[in-house]
Structure 1
Amino acid sequence: MDATERNARAAFAERAILARYLGGVPGIAWGRSAWPPIPLRRRGGPARWHYWWSAHLLDAALDAAAHRPTRARRRRARRLVRGIRLRNGGTLSRTFYDDLAWMGLALERDDGHRRATERIAAQLEGAIDVAVGAVPWEVGNPFFNAPANGPAAILFARTGRRDAAARLSDWMDETLRDPSSGLIIDGVVIERGVETRRATELYTYCQGVALGAAAALAHDDARFASRAAALVGAIAAWTGPSLLLPGAGGGDRGLFAGIACRYVADAASVPQTRAHAGGPDAATLERAAASARSLVIANADALWAGRATIDGLPLFSADATVPADASPDAPERDLSVQLGAWLTLEAAVSLD
């Protein structure tokens, strides 16, 4: 499939999201959490607005504006930022550091939000627990995890805080890497300097953000090029010959595989034409980049092939390994699931 077809598929996913999930008033937009809107009788109450889903909705909207530039897409991204601020009580701040990092990563891509990006990056840098060497999941919480430290490290790398980014990447590699699989576990609880619990679950987006951090640092440091190549290999081994990332259902987990694909695509751009001094040789980098590209394309193709069609628009599966479930109560109805698919399809476009 050529780049034009990949872009057309991403545009089709974009159309479906906008038609079904985008709400708002003139000049302000936000994402509804489900389609159709969740009745009061389901899930214990009305559908609530999700800050961190909205950060990824903004990121996907900026992908679309980059891959298919129009004034309307740029205006839509600005409307989404206004909607996020409005729905979040007039501020972009959060007490959950993973949420805050996701928002910073989306805002960083738009020059009009440099001050907000800088404030978020500075807040995250100030949140690093010096005794642990990492960012907690939430203010005052002893849980230190990949979902907070991975995106924070990527944001630090993008905003010139490369030493801080490197320290967080090293912390994840030293503390959260499972030695048997090479994958990144969810996190650890550290209380009064002592690790009291390990959350050993293997989530797709933990792999994605750890990989994204290494890839962001790999262009000028051989150590991180090696780390990125090794993690791509571990992810490929985890998925097996299909290269399909496991689905995790709806709700927050609906975004996990899409986030992973976004940063696997970043790893495909790690330098391939030369060996770093003291680092992996060119052939190793080329193999890792080719594997990363294959992972993204396989997942994008599987989601496209397994889609359902409702009213002429696609509904993507919550799990790339099976066809979409179009029933009214299926997880496919969550914005997170459809947004994860959109992120994956835009990641495939970014490879070109």
Structure 2
Amino acid sequence: MMKLQHLGLILFSWLTLASCNKIEDEYQYKDELDVSWEQMAQQTTEQLIAQFWNQEGYFNYGSEGSDLGFQYWPNAHAMDVVIDGYLRTNDPKYSAYFDKWFEGVKKKNGNTYKNVFYDDMEWNALTMLRLFEITKEQKYMDAVLLLWNDILPAWNTEYAGGGLAWRKDMLHSKNACSNGPASILAARLYKLTKEEQYLEWAIRIYDWQKETLFDRATGAVYDNINGETDVVNKTALTYNQGTFLGTAVELFDITQDPLYMNDAQKIANYTITKCIDASNNVLRNEGDGDGALFKGIFVRYFVEFLLRDGVQEAFRSKFENFLRNNAKVAWTQGQDAGIVLFSPSWTQKPLGQTQLTSQSSAAMLFEGLVYFEKTHKNN
């Protein structure tokens, strides 16, 4: 899935977050924006469907009028946005896409859910697990377990002492992108089934990643280790930060071990101080294509982290304001008013056509913020 060249880390230059006004009236930046977070989420998600949905039952990679074909892994995230929209509104117009997507993606992917990329299968399994939780339809769980059993052979100790490989034909490449989502999947399967094997896998994968691809001093999550040379690529990308953060939160939920929340806080703090465009204090542009999805994935798991009681109060305000600032900047600078299409940068309007990855990422930001504000307010 990682088809782009890795980006170097942006040098840290911390800017103090401006204080935000009290959130009122559907989580609006009062006197600054004339649209609510809810409206931002609604418009961005609606445009994702309008511009990218293919009537054959999947999401196109390019917006309407472009010819960029089909990509398997972004389809999972686009459907996650549709699920977010459904959970936000309980509107059946969103759930009407569930079955169509489930069948359409399989057909377009060669009449199978399996793939050479382990991480791609993990993302789709996570989405299908959400569909199962909502609908309770067994076909979704059956597909999750089919994928899970195809993912498990990725684990091998021949290279790097363990960890899940990135690709079926590259068992020596152990990547954060194939281990983070897998451990989240295992933890969530445990929550649903209470079968110990899933918890054991979640912890095993997490512990290996923490030992091999995590800087405990800073909170950086490294991209991969080459098991043939034992060389670690120390690039830190937002989506890898997000999935390791997400696993820490899942394991904290299960075990209540504060060590997981300590890890999560380090990961979150590193991301919002190092993986940013310092001039606007928003998550940085990590390129188009695959990279355009990375920020949204981080936001999804960052929001889950912020909803836990274990976040230290000394950090909570900074984290919450960072989330709101990203949404404010993305809405005011990252899209043309009235068009609601987003580029890979949340500080620049798109030029011409846009991609499923960048639109999904923006939608995850706004949907995630609405979910956070509503849930936080009700707790």
TM-score interval (norm. to shorter): 0.7 to 0.9
Give the aligned partner of residue 302 of structure 2.
264
Give the aligned partner of residue 251 of structure 1.
289
Distance across 1 between alignment mates of 2:362 and 2:78: 11
TM-aligned CA distance change 1:97 to 1:287, over 3 Å: farther
Sequence identity percentage? 24
Give the aligned partner of residue 42 of structure 1.
none
Deviates more, 1:3-12 or 1:284-293: 284-293
Shift of 1:289: 4.5
Paired residue for 2:349, among 324, 329, 338? Answer: 324
Q: Which amino acid aligns with 1:77?
A: F
SS in 1 for 2:55: strand
Give the aligned partner of residue 236 of structure 1.
272
SS in 2 for 1:308: coil
Contact 2:51 2:64 in 1 (8 A): yes
Are 1:298 and 2:325 an aligned pair? yes
TM-aligned CA distance change 1:32 to 1:128, over 3 Å: same
SS in 2 for 1:8: helix
Contact 1:150 1:210 in 2 (8 A): yes
Give the aligned partner of residue 17 of structure 1.
48
Shift of 1:308: 3.1
Distance across 2 between alignment mates of 1:150 and 1:102: 10
Are 1:88 and 2:124 an aligned pair? no
TM-aligned CA distance change 1:290 to 1:213, over 3 Å: farther
Distance across 2 between alignment mates of 1:189 and 1:163: 25
Shift of 1:35: 2.2
Paired residue for 1:116, among 125, 139, 143? Answer: 143
Mind listing any 5+ residue stretches in structure 1 that lack a counterpart? 39-45, 273-283
Paired residue for 2:156, among 121, 124, 129? Answer: 129
Give the aligned partner of residue 93 of structure 2.
72
Shift of 1:91: 1.2
Distance across 1 between alignment mates of 2:124 and 2:150: 12
Output the aligned Cα RMSD.
2.0
Shift of 1:290: 4.2
Contact 2:218 2:266 in 1 (8 A): no
Shift of 1:179: 5.6
Give the aligned partner of residue 9 of structure 2.
none
SS in 1 for 2:167: coil
Q: Which amino acid aligns with 2:345?
A: D
Are 1:151 and 2:181 an aligned pair? yes
Give the aligned partner of residue 43 of structure 1.
none
SS in 2 for 1:314: coil
Matched positions, count: 322
Paired residue for 2:250, among 213, 216, 240? Answer: 216
TM-aligned CA distance change 1:145 to 1:16, over 3 Å: same
Distance across 2 between alignment mates of 1:168 and 1:222: 18
Mind listing any 5+ residue stretches in structure 2 that lack a counterpart? 1-22, 28-35, 191-197, 375-379
Shift of 1:170: 1.8
Deviates more, 1:235-244 or 1:85-94: 235-244
SS in 1 for 2:112: coil
Shift of 1:189: 0.7
Contact 2:119 2:177 in 1 (8 A): yes
For residues 164-191 of structure 1, give each alpha carbon's deviation from its aligned partner in whole angstroms, at most 9, with x where no partner exists.
1122222222211246632111111102
SS in 2 for 1:188: strand
For residues 199-245 of structure 1, give each alpha carbon's deviation from its aligned partner in whole angstroms, at most 9, with x where no partner exists.
22221111111111111111222221211122122223314695411
For residues 234-278 of structure 1, give each alpha carbon's deviation from its aligned partner in whole angstroms, at most 9, with x where no partner exists.
223314695411111211111011111111111112234xxxxxx
Contact 2:181 2:243 in 1 (8 A): yes
Q: Which amino acid aligns with 2:359?
A: Q
* TM-score w.r.t. length of structure 1: 0.85
Q: Which amino acid aligns with 1:154?
A: I
Are 1:341 and 2:362 an aligned pair? yes
